[in-house]
Chain A
């Protein structure tokens, strides 16, 4: 919480600076906030004052980012557990993964555009491709870090497979999995915007570009600010979930 005064100070400095400079490209923070309120919060009361752009752009964007991220999470954890528990599988697919992971995901947008056309499917494909690797590779690491004594313990108790995966392998790998999920979530937001800048008919990225082209700079800055706030909020949300799920590592020395 010590960081909030600094944020406030930055806003005040920005306010003073922009008012002194009077540059049309740099509207004052208060002007940006006023625009934001006017664009997003002038809806009917029964919709909590939320205006159309919230439903037409913000929520679809969020749905794409979170949807793609969730698909990648399920895919990454599943494959990661399978690969991590196999002695040899990763030797075969490891180089391929290293190659695929090294491709900057935005460069695949043209490919997915051809494959899926403009729209949600292309965006989901981009986000899933970009976010699956951190989850997958972290899961493999976590699964591999399973302690030998824990493995022997589970074996000596004749733990059947579902409990072995659910109560031993996954919890042991969970600190690593969450590290991967956090990284993936921020990547998902980035790819959401990038894919919307290129191939979408709505969404935050689309509106951001539109505002810039119409020289509506306060609105453009408002969308940028919203992206920052969304990224911050999503990360905070995930951290809260992580703290609950990994409560056992809080005092325990092995929390990685």
Chain B
């Protein structure tokens, strides 16, 4: 890691002028265009944008899985080169992300294997994480024996087992049914509050982004640039029914929807963000 002068900001994640283009020549496809934003420690930020706008590229770049074409990603003020130590990733496709040859417990234990922890302690940690996501009794089973929602819980438990400071989630609830999605959303908010983990979650679901987030970052279509940065002024304790019918929620989701509908390549608001009217 390169030494970098200490940052004046308190931001955990600082994304600066990020660009990325796939391919070159006439076939080049720009995925990210001069994207800048920050995420504070302990914040749950949602990135919402249309499908195929470069959200996943952004997340893979932040995770260090993909080297950006230009710009910088700073985590704790240090440029990201390769996957940083205290970061975890939850993928949309839980069935491909969990290792089918390992039991649920061994999947959760997996990232602890190369830490100098006694075996018993590894097992305890895995069990604790499984209990935290509401799956105390399935450790001995295989992931593919569980429902989709349970599998994504296991994936979340595995990500949390490493005690990451930053949790990146790429459309984590897009492949489960609506009821399960509500449960998982509440689970994520609860766990995030308990652990103080900073979360950056990508979704194409406007309602989900407003319901989950402390802050919603709205992206324009490909190449992705920041359209708006909206603080979510909803009560800390959220409820799937009461929150979703509150005036503040309805106003905010309408604002995000309007932004996404009227987005045009030339009209980009400055990234300073504006408060929702609610």
Report A's interface with B, CB cutoff 8 A.
147-150, 152-153, 155-160, 163, 167-168, 171-172, 174, 248-249, 251-254
Contact = CB atoms under 8 A, between A and B. Distances in A.
Nearest to A148: B96
Interface centre among A147, A152, A172 (most CB of B within 10 A): A152
Contacts of A248: 100-102, 142
B contacts with A: majority SS: loop
Nearest to A147: B96
B113 A254 contact: no
A108 B186 CA distance: 68
Interface string B92-122: 0100110111100000001101100000000
B162 interface: yes
Interface stretch (B41-49, B80-88, B202-210, B239-247): B80-88
B100 A157 contact: no
Contacts of A163: 113-114
Given A157-B111, A163-B114, A252 B91 contact: no
Nearest to A164: B114
B97 A158 contact: no
Given A149-B91, A156-B87, A167-B102, A252 B111 contact: no
A159 B87 CA distance: 13
Contacts of A249: 100-101
A194 to B, nearest CB: 37
A156 B85 contact: no
A153 B102 contact: no
A254 B100 contact: yes
Contacts of A174: 101
B57 to A, nearest CB: 13
A238 to B, nearest CB: 19
Interface residues of B, number: 25
A163 B113 CA distance: 8
B51 interface: no
A contacts with B: majority SS: helix
A152 B56 CA distance: 13
Contacts of B97: 149-150, 152-153
A154 to B, nearest CB: 9
B63 A157 contact: no
A149 B93 contact: yes
14 contacts: A149-B91, A152-B89, A155-B65, A155-B83, A156-B83, A156-B88, A157-B88, A157-B158, A168-B99, A171-B101, A248-B100, A248-B102, A248-B142, A252-B142
A24 B91 CA distance: 72
A148 B92 CA distance: 13
Interface of B: 60, 63, 65, 83, 85, 87-89, 91, 93, 96-97, 99-102, 110-111, 113-114, 142, 144-145, 158, 162
B232 to A, nearest CB: 27
B99 A156 contact: no
A130 to B, nearest CB: 30
A159 B142 CA distance: 21
A121 to B, nearest CB: 38
A156 B65 contact: yes
Q: Which 5 A-B pairs have the closest CB atoms?
A: A156-B89, A149-B96, A171-B101, A157-B111, A248-B101
B162 to A, nearest CB: 7
Contacts of B99: 150, 153, 167-168, 171
Contacts of A171: 99, 101-102
B83 A252 contact: no
Interface centre among A158, A163, A174 (most CB of B within 10 A): A158
A56 to B, nearest CB: 43
A223 to B, nearest CB: 41
A252 B100 contact: yes
Contacts of A160: 114
Contacts of B65: 152, 155-156
A157 B114 CA distance: 11
A158 B101 CA distance: 19
